[in-house]
Structure 1
Amino acid sequence: MDEPVGRGVEADVDVDLDVDVVVVGAGLSGVGAACHLRREAPQESLLVLEARERMGGTWDLFRYPGVRSDSDMFTLAYDFAPWRGERAIVEGADIRRYVEDTARAYGIDDRTRFGHRVVRAEWSGAEQRWRLTVAHAGDERVVTCRFLWVCTGYYRYDAGHQPALAGEEAFGGTLVDPQRWPEDLDVRDRDVVVLGSGATAVTLVPALAAQGARVTMLQRSPSYVGVVGRRDRWARRLSGRVPPGVADRVLRARHVLVQQTVTGVSRRRPDLVRRALLRTAAQRLPEGYDVEATFGARYDPWDQRLTVSPGGELFTAVRDGRAEVVTGTLERLTPDGVLMTSGREVPADVLVRATGLEMLGFGGMEVVVDDEPVVLGERLAYAGVMLEDVPNLAFTVGYARASWTLRADLVAHWVTRLLRRMRREGLAVVTPDRAPAAEHEARRPLIDLNSGYVRRGRGRMPEQGAGRPWRSPGNHLEGVAALRWRRRTPGLRTTPAGSRA
């Protein structure tokens, strides 16, 4: 781990670097990709470019009270760095530390340049390299590489979805966005309204109530909320009784099986899962509570991502009178709160816009291939990993209905295997063919959910087709088969070193 970052330059020089592989993004996906490269393709020189000043991505950006993942850590952790705690659901700070510790263990922190935003990526067929224009501290720098790996996620980091709020200028309280949570915000004995009913809102409401706020979750329509345990009893049972490696595999497999079962049953018997979710909610709410009107969503379970409440903390806050859930339409803001179309005015000293995400492909960078701009929304994804007719570029997007990292690990194994093949066979360029017209006619979003941010984001991300290799694996068993076991790569053309593409 002591070799230079690039070729022909010192490791501490940030201008005009040339490396084999550039990973864009130092969040959960980017750090994982870089670690896989160090483990499985150590001969490749590596540079990680991160637009923000710190590592961790989502788990460094979001600092609102109670921020956590809905996914268990046994599957959110990398397959090469198992989670060894008993707690399955952990806070964002714990996830950030896990990412940082893993990066440090593999020397990725020494190969990462912070505050470096890739604004343009240009492929030259003549040079068979990517030329990256990188913004840093008001200047532009140039980095070139043989292979580009984009690990920027799929949503905007600087701002979420912010629908126009009538009367916003008249509101006399504090307006807060989860992505820019003020460190000094004191909510004790204050009225707080959280707009939204997704994962952020369901996390914020009990956390703010625990800080002494009077909290109202204001939702336009209901969402399903499931209940999960914070701790894993199997982790406690296996600890000290079986070798750690065996326990790691058992716990990861168990959680994968649970995820597969829940999502599978949700697709085949949505009525059964719906009744189970509402029954679980009713058991934790006061007798006579209108569970159907408040938590009976208008869509089938897992048509949108299922929000979870560890230990049922949201329901406990409502049952204890520390929080309220109101369903209705916001008419306008007033100096003292929120006026509903029903005529009710909900008091608010603090208004939190937990109104969802905005999708953004490749971190907003411009992609150009031999002077031709690449419109991401017009391209299909090859195996959900590369872009049709775009050379030497891979990207990582995790599962929509399972832990993100399960798929990110599979993508990393696939990409590192491809890089080893390129080096072994003397290949300079690998390019997915243009997808057949029939696949374009059957195109659908890569994120296979009916969520609002997916519908709003059509055209900003690559999409998928209907058949292999243009269909992205939707569940983990299919993903393992497609990205780990299957060695054939039909439709992937190659160019030997020294030849023109």
Structure 2
Amino acid sequence: MGFSDEKSEDIFDIIIVGAGISGINAAYRIQTELPSARYTILEARGGIGGTWDLFRYPGFRSDSDLYTFGFAWRPWREQKIIADGDSIRNYIRESAALYGIDQKVKYHRKLVSANWSSDQQAWSLQVDEEGRKTHFHARFVVLGTGYYDYDEALSSHIPGIENFAGQVVHPQFWPDDLDYKDKKIIVVGSGSTAVTLIPSLAETASQVTMLQRSPTYIVSQPAIDPFGQWAQRFLPQGLAHRITRLKFLISTFLALKLCTLYPLVARNLIKKATLKQLPDNVPHDPHFSPRYHPWEQRLCLCPDGDFFAAMRAGKASVVTDTIDTVTATGIQLASGRTLDADIIVTATGLKLKIAGGAQMSADNEPVTISEKFLWKGVMLQDLPNTAMVIGYTNASWTLGADATALLVCRLLKTMEAKRVTSAVPRLGDGEGMEAVPALNLSSTYVVRGAKELPRTGDRAPWMRRSTYFSDLWGAKFGNITDGLHFESVST
């Protein structure tokens, strides 16, 4: 599928944007399934890892098991299934180095814009290389940029925050030199970031308070899986990993189905487990009784119940209230209560951004991503030869990334066999489509950022992703021509 016989430094068959989980996985699949393809990875930052290279706040860890969050092609070998950020970052880098993918990465190349030329049947990418404009060209582009803004956090209106005399910190930009030993810390927010931060901060801070407007579901999970331990002890390593991975795939699927089909049963099961771990002086209601059903927002995992352990030790607490105003020394609540603080941490979510903020266009006509539908959760309507990697909200991100990569490789093989130069998703004339949110979560940051996301439809092949099992089958065996328009143009 060569672009040309010319081996120019800026001309490729495939360009992957982003060297995180999505980009590294896509690279492995491409060089395995399409060994003759010439590809590169453009990475805006200076290292491999994406999210896992960016976030450095205390306690940063996965919120999915590493048997399914890890790459299918390189098993996770460590015992901990809920792993810390450093371990995951090292795992991604080692995986890339093992297969030579790290040699394909071009660092400090931030995609600014990309234009598809129908005449050339190719993409022209404008890239910022540390202040210098450069250009790359490719037949196909894979956007492995994730779905949030690396440069700007989600803004949150906290009245009077400018009055605070202490330090205000957002987890996305955690200072390396922040000294919080023996300090009073208020963490504003109740999502996975807050639940991750609090046990780690509580180890050295004098007191850590999670201030939430509304609670979330917090579920404990063993840091080391007993079944996985047993399998590794008695079975060959490869077989042990496959069986344990399958166990997590099935158990996650069944748990999600339980929450979806029997939400009240799921609520009661989580409540029962939570009550067993709470200290006697902390009531379940209102602090751990969300207004929504499980998996309408992501469940927060805590390994070995570390969040509840910090509460039982008296180093962490939860307050459910709203902020009236921030004072010089803390936070005045609507109830009249005052919380003292030396540090306020705003764990209020992520700002959504698609394609890393790059402007996409076709034949110099700008394409507004939020106005377009996603074909099979992978390709954007009216945008040729482009794949967008979006993982799952209710399972490991890597599973969705891998289903995407496998579908892209199969599509490229099909195009090569048919000798076509482009594939573009098209909606038929008069084909009305009801828009459905691409991410099926009611979390505040998702609702606020929905206008940035592409659309999904109410019928195939435009429906949003459902499960890994169905997507994997579709990627390997499903129809990959329905809804696509193919062109074969001599260039």
Q: Same fold (TM over 0.5)?
A: yes
Question: 2:234 is matched with which residue?
Answer: 241
Does residue 326 in structure 1 map to residue 322 in structure 2? no
Q: Residues 330-369 of structure 1 correspond to what in structure 2 (within 5 A)?
A: 330-369=323-362
Give the letter aligned to residue 29 of structure 1. Answer: S
How far apart are the structure 1 equivalents of 2:432 and 2:99? Answer: 40
**Post-superposition shift, 1:8?**
3.8
Preserved CA contact (<8 Å) 1:473 1:482: no
**Which range moves more in the overlay, 473-482 or 277-286?**
473-482
| Matched letter for residue 444 of structure 2 | G
Residue by residue over 1:443-474, the C-alpha shift from the partner in whole angstroms, topping out at 9 and shown as x without a partner, is 11111111112211122111110111001222
* 1:83-105 Cα shifts (integer Å, max 9, x gaps): 12221110011111111011111
In the TM superposition, what are the counterparts of 1:392-431 in structure 2 within 5 Å?
Answer: 392-431=385-424
In 2, the alpha carbon distance for the partners of 1:426 and 1:245 equals 39
Alpha-carbon spacing, 1:38–1:6, altered in 2? closer, same or farther (3 Å): farther
Distance of aligned partners of 1:218 and 1:6 in 2 relative to their CA distance in 1, 3 Å threshold: farther
1:461 aligned partner: 453
Q: 2: distance between equivalents of 1:170 and 1:6?
A: 61
Aligned 1:17-416 pairs, distance under 5 A: 17-287=10-280, 289-416=282-409
Query: CA, structure 1 residues 436+206, in 2 after alignment: closer, same or farther (shift >3 Å)?
Result: farther
Q: Secondary structure at the match of 2:68?
A: helix
User: Which AA in structure 2 matches 1:419?
Assistant: L
In structure 1, stretches of 5+ residues that fail to align are none
Shift of 1:437: 5.5
Identify the residue that residue 477 of structure 2 maps to in structure 1.
485
Supply the AA of the counterpart residue of 1:446.
A
For 1:65, give the aligned amino acid: P
Could you tell me which amino acid in structure 2 is paired with residue 332 of structure 1? T
8 Å CA contact 2:124–2:138 kept in 1: the answer is: yes
Q: Give, in angstroms, the shift of residue 480 of structure 1.
A: 2.1
Structure 2 counterpart SS, 1:295: coil
CA shift in 2, pair 1:488/1:55, >3 Å: closer
Letter in 1 for 2:50: G
The answer to whether the Cα contact below 8 Å between 2:185 and 2:205 also exists between their aligned partners in 1 is no
- Local SS of the residue matching 1:413: helix
Shift of 1:487: 3.9
When the two chains are superposed, the root-mean-square deviation of aligned CA atoms in Å is 1.7
1:243 and 1:209 map into 2 onto residues whose CA distance is 40
Q: Is the 8 A contact 1:192 1:215 kept in 2?
A: yes
SS of 1:457's partner is helix
Deviation at 1:353, TM superposition (A): 0.6
SS of the residue aligned with 2:285?
A: helix
User: Residue 466 of structure 2 is aligned with which of 469, 474, 491?
Assistant: 474
* 1:144-190 deviation per Cα after TM superposition (whole angstroms, max 9, x unaligned): 10001100011111222121222222211011111111111111111
Work out whether residues 439 and 466 of structure 1, in 8 Å CA contact, stay in contact via their aligned partners in 2: no
Cα deviation digits, residues 186-207 of structure 1 (max 9, x gap):
1111100000000000000111
Contact 2:184 2:205 survives alignment (8 Å): no
**What is the aligned partner in structure 1 of residue 435 from structure 2?**
443
- Alignment gaps of 5+ in structure 2: none
Going from structure 1 to structure 2, the CA distance change for 1:213 and 1:50 (only over 3 Å counts) comes to: farther
Indicate how the Cα distance of structure 1 residues 128 and 438 shifts in structure 2: closer, same or farther if over 3 A, else same: closer
Task: Report the CA distance between 1:245 and its aligned residue.
Answer: 2.2
1:269-288 Cα distance to aligned partner (Å, 9 max, x none)? 11111111111111011235
How far does residue 434 in structure 1 lie from its aligned partner after superposition? 2.2
Q: Secondary structure at the match of 1:145?
A: strand
Q: 1:248 to 1:436 in 2, by over 3 A?
A: farther
Question: Within 2, Cα distance between the matches of 1:105 and 1:485?
Answer: 29
Looking at structure 2, the residues matched to 195 and 319 of structure 1 have their Cα atoms a distance apart, in angstroms, of 20
Question: 2:13, 2:138 within 8 Å by CA — same for their partners in 1?
Answer: yes
Q: Residue 482 of structure 1: CA displacement?
A: 2.3
CA–CA distance in structure 1, aligned partners of residues 80 and 101 of structure 2: 26
Question: In the alignment, residue 61 of structure 1 is paired with which amino acid?
Answer: L
Name the amino acid aligned to 1:475. T
Deviation at 1:396, TM superposition (A): 0.6
CA distance in 2, matches of 1:399, 1:156: 18
Partner SS for 2:142: strand
Separation of aligned partners in 2, 1:251 and 1:388: 38
Structure 2 length-normalised TM: 0.97
Q: Would the alpha carbon gap of residues 313 and 437 (structure 1) be closer, same or farther in structure 2, given more than 3 Å must change?
A: farther
* Cα separation, 1, equivalents of 2:118 and 2:385: 11
Deviation at 1:5, TM superposition (A): 12
* Cα distance change, pair 176–8 in 1 and its aligned pair in 2 (3 A): same
* Matches of 2:131 and 2:169, distance apart in 1: 28
SS state of the match for residue 144, structure 1?
strand
Cα 1:119–1:488, aligned 2, differ >3 Å: closer, same or farther? closer
1:13-48: CA deviations, max 9, x gaps? 5xxx01000000001101111111111111110110
Q: Is the 8 A contact 2:420 2:487 kept in 1?
A: yes
SS class of match (1:318)? helix
